[in-house]
Amino acid sequence: MSNAFLKQMFFLIILSAFVSRAQPFWEQTNGPCGGNIECLVIGLNGNIFAGTYGGVFRSTDNGDSWTQVNSGLTEKFISSLVVNSKGHLYAGTADGGIFKSSDNGDSWILINERMTEAFKSSNIFSIVINSNGHIFASAYGEGVFRTTDDGDSWTQMNTGLTDKFVRVLAINSNGHLFAGTHNSGVFRSTNNGVTWTQVNSGLTEDEIPLLTINSKGDLFAGTNCRGVFRSMNNGDSWTAVNEGLNPWGECVESFCIDTDDNIFIGTVFNGIYCSIDNGDSWLHIKTGFSEKWIHSLAINSSGHIFAGTDGSGVFRSTDKGATWTQVNTGMISTAIGTLAINAEGHIFAGISHVGIFRSINNGDSWESVNEGLPVTDIISIVINASGHIFAGTFDGVFRSIDNGDSWTQVNNGLTNKYVQPMAINSQGHLFAGTNYGGIFRSTNNGNSWQEINTGLTNEFIHALAINSRDHIFAGTDGGIFRSKDNGDLWIEKNTGLAYKSIDDLAINFRDHIFASSSRSIFRSTDNGDSWTQIGTDLTDIYVISLFVDPQDHIYLGTYRNGIFHSTDNGDSWTQLNTGLTCDYVLSFAINSSGYIFVGTLGGGVFRSQEPTTSVNETAKNDYPSFMLEQNFPNPFNPQTTISYQLTKPVLMTIKIYDLQSREIKTLFSKDIDEGNYTSIWDGTDNQGKPVASGTYFYRMEAWDGDERFVSVKKMLLIR
Amino acid at 350: G
- Looking at the structure, tell me whether residues 604 and 630 fall in a common domain: no
Residue 667: CATH number of its domain = 2.60.40.4070
CB contact at 8 A, 324 and 339: no
Residues 359 and 427 in one domain: yes
* Residues 52-69, mean pLDDT to the nearest whole number: 97
DSSP per position, 91-103: EEESSS-EEEESS
Last residue of a domain, one of 608, 643, 666: 608
- Give the residue-averaged pLDDT of 20-43: 89
Residue 242 lies in a domain: no
* Domain end call among 581, 608, 635: 608
pLDDT at 47 over 80: yes
Q: Are 402 and 414 in contact (CB under 8 A)?
A: no
Say how many Å lie between the first and final Cα of the chain, rounded.
Answer: 35
> Does residue 351 sit within a domain?
yes
Q: Decide which of 573, 608, 643 is a domain's last residue.
A: 608
pLDDT of residue 668: 86
Task: Please check whether residues 501 and 442 belong to one and the same domain.
Answer: yes
Residue 614 domain-assigned? no
Question: Domain check: are 438 and 400 in the same one?
Answer: yes
CB 414 within 8 A of CB 449: yes
Residue 4 within a domain: no
Percent with pLDDT over 70 in the chain: 92
Residues 596, 630 within the same domain: no
pLDDT digits (tens, 9 = 90+) for 236-272: 999 999 999 987 778 999 999 999 999 999 999 889 9
Task: Tell whether 359 and 495 lie within a shared domain.
Answer: yes
Tell me the pLDDT band of 20, cut-offs 50, 70 and 90.
very low
Q: 566 and 663 share a domain?
A: no
pLDDT tens digits, 491-547:
999 999 999 999 999 998 778 999 999 889 999 999 999 999 998 888 888 999 999
560-608 per-position pLDDT tens digit: 899 999 989 999 999 999 999 999 999 999 887 778 899 999 999 999 8
The verdict on 507 and 554 lying in the same domain is yes
At 416-436, the pLDDT tens digits run: 999 999 999 988 999 999 999
Contact 54/76 with Cβ under 8 angstroms?
yes
Residue-range definition of the domain harbouring residue 411: 16-28+334-608
Determine, yes or no, domain membership for 235.
no
Q: What is the DSSP letter of 354?
A: T
Residues 475 and 589 in one domain: yes
Residues 670 and 604 occupy one common structural domain: no
579 touches 39 (CB < 8 A):
no
Domain presence at residue 641: yes
- Render pLDDT for 440-494 as a digit per residue (tens, 0 to 9): 999 999 999 999 999 999 999 999 999 888 899 999 999 999 999 999 999 999 9
Q: Is residue 396 part of a domain?
A: yes
**How would residue 709 be classed by pLDDT, with cut points 50, 70 and 90?**
confident
Answer whether residue 457 is part of any domain.
yes
Percent of the residues in the chain that have a pLDDT greater than 90, as a whole number? 70
Domain count within the chain: 2
| CA–CA distance, 52 with 467 (Å, rounded to integer) | 39
* pTM of the full structure: 0.88
Residues 648, 533 share a domain:
no
CATH of the domain at 415: 2.130.10.10
Q: For residue range 660-698, what is the model confidence (pLDDT) as tens digits?
A: 667 888 898 888 888 999 999 999 988 888 888 877 888
Tally of CB atoms within 10 A around 579: 15
Shared domain check, 478 and 354: yes
